[in-house]
Amino acid sequence: GENVEQHPSTLSVQEGDSAVIKCTYSDSASNYFPWYKQELGKGPQLIIDIRSNVGEKKDQRIAVTLNKTAKHFSLHITETQPEDSAVYFCAATLNSGYSTLTFGKGTMLLVSP
């Protein structure tokens, strides 16, 4: 099955700085890569996703890049704000089914004012 490695496990930045979270996956057949944000005491929420036929996707201050050759994808957050503080999960799936969606172990992002 798929294996997703996520780094770093914790990331501390100052408000206004950029933050980058990286994930690698094992199966070259994976074709869908979502990112979820989990605020304290809440369930995860989708913030952005990318499919294997796209190299980069942006949504305001958030962007995701995908390198299929190296089998890694990254989340970039620019101009970080305190409300960006949360746990972020990457995930990958082989055949588009939710039952095969494999999550990384999460990154706790702390943005200090």
Neighbours of 37 (CB within 10 A): 20
Handedness of CA 38, 91, 77, 112 (dihedral sign): positive
Q: Considering only 37-45, 54-62, 67-75, 76-84, which stretch makes contact with another protein by CB under 8 A?
A: 37-45
Q: Counting contacts by CB under 8 A, is residue 42 touching another protein?
A: yes
CA distance 84 to 35: 14
Shortest spacing between CB 2 and another protein, in angstroms: 11
**Contact pick of 3, 8, 9, 58 for another protein (by CB under 8 A):** 9
CA distance 8 to 61: 20
Q: Considering only 13-21, 42-50, 61-69, 73-81, which stretch makes contact with another protein by CB under 8 A?
A: 42-50
